[in-house]
């Protein structure tokens, strides 16, 4: 046993002593291991291996450029595994895009890895130990904030999402997001994951912080909720395969399928006030101009409001990915246009070289931004279409705060993979951050309802056609994070960065210090 303990205690020094391809291979493998902590696996102990290894490799680097390279390899492994499901979208149209399969996910992972390489290079300047851990955490969060905005942003799989376990334990662990958002959870996660290579005092302090974290979560979660509105949200999951959605020969049958599910849902509401929700682009009919289709939806909804995903065309003839609010008789009460579009999937980025045409016609036009819909008979609602749910602090109109959020999406592109489950985790986190219930209708699943604390009220699993009635919970008093927004985790990250870099040792002697 003493021999085993001695060998384990020597591991950080052995990791720090690695050079060349051995260090790079260790970095990419530790990134792969760390990806096991992401939804839907939630293998949290994997971070207790991955992050300490990364810190050791940074410590052992001969300069910031070498640290950046090792950080890049770590990020490449992390995102290669975390984003593997994007291949599913390519395989939907494999006849046209089969050649992209070997390049798409590795290419995206290579780009995303830059947002780990930069924090690794910054952390190299800090003294090994808790200062390096704080520096890495602060720089990592600032990099995550950057990837929320650069090239329209892709803030998928922040490390703060690793706490979103199903059930009560996950509910408890995500409550601090109401204070600091998912980015604040990311910072705390990196510091806590560093504990195996920190001193015993820091390990004890980390356990104390974790105990306070759990205590806050329990207290907040168990606080009584005020009564909610007398309204049932009827989530419709059509389970239409992506290859069938735009098949003209199937459009009528798909539309009838959604009408039948809507009638089934209204029957389950048993006369209580309700709102019907169809997923993203669920209606094959162009509701903007097709009055007959709108009337049929209104009749199936039994006089209740229907929130329906559909494509529309603006005055310039550009398509928009929209949500239509339909009232009695099929009247259009409001329209919301998606504004956070998916690069290369829904629009052509302006920064591509002239002459390069990836998306025909430039793709969809974007909407003006977050908007609250005021619809007679239902509480004010903030609409999110698909991918918009991954953008922390960018999901509602802060000047016209809604009482609840609705997220319509079509995750059929990603099959029965980790993608839809990671997307669901992002939506759940937005409910906690904003203190608002969130109702999610997904074409092939997972459809679900969450209260304002992120507690799941019901779900429809993947690849089933069914309906989910959820009684709409109330909103909560405005959480701290909803008041301050990204400035809060950004400020904490800057403070961690400055604290970590204070008192650094000059010269190579600092690099040779032990953990």
Measure Cα distances from 306 to 245, 324, 396 in Å: 20, 8, 20
d(CA 155, CA 148): 5
Q: Which residues have CB under 8 Å from 426's CB, separation 6+?
A: 156, 161, 389, 390
Q: Which of 88, 333, 346, 386 is catalytic?
A: 386
Measure Cα distances from 29 to 111, 252, 340 in Å: 18, 50, 33
- Residue 56: DSSP 8-state: H
- Residue 393: DSSP 8-state: T
Q: Would you state the structure tokens that stand for residue 509, as one six-digit string?
A: 């002697």
Q: Which residues have CB under 8 Å from 495's CB, separation 6+?
A: 138
Would you call 280 a catalytic residue per the annotation?
Answer: yes
Q: Which residues have CB under 8 Å from 234's CB, separation 6+?
A: 262, 265, 266, 268, 269, 274, 275, 276, 277, 304, 467, 468, 469
Q: Which of 333, 338, 346, 434 is catalytic?
A: 338
d(CA 181, CA 160): 9
Would you call 386 a catalytic residue per the annotation?
Answer: yes
Q: Which of 56, 164, 245, 280 is catalytic?
A: 280
Residue pair 373/396 in contact (Cβ under 8 Å)? The answer is no
Residue pair 89/105 in contact (Cβ under 8 Å)? The answer is no
Q: Which residues have CB under 8 Å from 226's CB, separation 6+?
A: 474
Residue pair 449/235 in contact (Cβ under 8 Å)? The answer is yes
Active site residues: 280, 338, 386
């Amino acid at each position: 046993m003493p021999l085993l303990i001695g060998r384990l205690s020597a591991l950080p020094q052995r990791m720090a002593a690695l050079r060349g391809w051995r260090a790079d291979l260790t970095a990419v493998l530790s990134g792969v291991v760390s990806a096991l902590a992401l939804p839907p696996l939630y293998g949290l102990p994997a971070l207790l291996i991955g992050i300490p290894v990364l810190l050791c490799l940074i410590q052992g680097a001969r300069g910031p450029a070498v640290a950046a390279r090792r950080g890049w390899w770590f990020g490449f492994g992390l995102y290669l595994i975390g984003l593997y499901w994007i291949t599913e979208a390519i395989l939907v149209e494999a006849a046209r895009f089969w050649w992209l399969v070997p390049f798409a996910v590795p290419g995206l992972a290579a780009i995303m890895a830059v947002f780990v390489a930069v924090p690794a290079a910054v952390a190299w300047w800090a003294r090994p130990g808790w200062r390096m851990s704080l520096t890495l955490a602060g720089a990592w969060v600032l990099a995550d904030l950057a990837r929320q905005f650069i090239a329209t942003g892709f803030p998928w799989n922040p490390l703060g999402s690793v706490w979103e376990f199903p059930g009560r334990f996950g509910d408890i662990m995500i409550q601090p997001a109401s204070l600091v958002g998912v980015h604040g959870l990311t910072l705390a996660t990196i510091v806590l994951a560093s504990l195996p290579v920190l001193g015993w005092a820091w390990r004890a302090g980390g356990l104390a912080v974790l105990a306070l974290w759990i205590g806050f979560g329990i207290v907040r979660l168990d606080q009584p909720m005020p009564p909610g509105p007398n309204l049932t949200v009827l989530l419709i999951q059509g389970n239409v395969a992506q290859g069938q959605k735009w098949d003209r020969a199937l459009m009528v049958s798909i539309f009838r399928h959604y009408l039948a599910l809507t009638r089934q849902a209204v029957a389950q509401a048993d006369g209580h006030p309700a709102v019907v929700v169809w997923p993203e682009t669920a209606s094959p009919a162009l509701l903007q101009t097709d009055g007959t289709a709108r009337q049929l939806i209104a009749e199936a909804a039994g006089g209740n409001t229907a929130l329906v995903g559909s494509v529309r065309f603006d005055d310039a003839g550009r398509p928009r990915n929209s949500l239509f609010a339909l009232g009695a008789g099929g009247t259009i009460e409001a329209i919301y246009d998606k504004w956070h579009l998916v690069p290369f999937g829904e629009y052509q980025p302006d920064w591509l070289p002239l002459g390069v045409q990836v998306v025909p016609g430039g793709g969809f036009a974007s909407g003006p931004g977050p908007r609250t819909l005021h619809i007679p008979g239902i509480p004010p609602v903030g609409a999110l279409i698909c991918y918009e749910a991954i953008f922390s602090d960018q999901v509602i109109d802060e000047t016209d705060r809604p009482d609840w959020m609705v997220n319509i999406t079509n995750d059929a592109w990603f099959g029965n993979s980790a993608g839809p489950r990671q997307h669901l985790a992002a939506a759940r986190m937005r409910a906690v951050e904003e203190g608002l219930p969130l109702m999610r209708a997904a074409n092939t699943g997972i459809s679900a309802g969450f209260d304002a604390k992120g507690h799941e009220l019901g779900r429809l699993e993947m690849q089933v056609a069914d309906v989910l009635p959820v009684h709409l919970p109330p909103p909560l008093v405005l959480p701290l994070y909803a008041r301050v927004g990204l400035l809060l985790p950004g400020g904490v990250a800057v403070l961690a960065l400055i604290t970590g870099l204070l008192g650094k040792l000059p010269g190579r002697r600092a690099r040779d210090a032990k953990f």
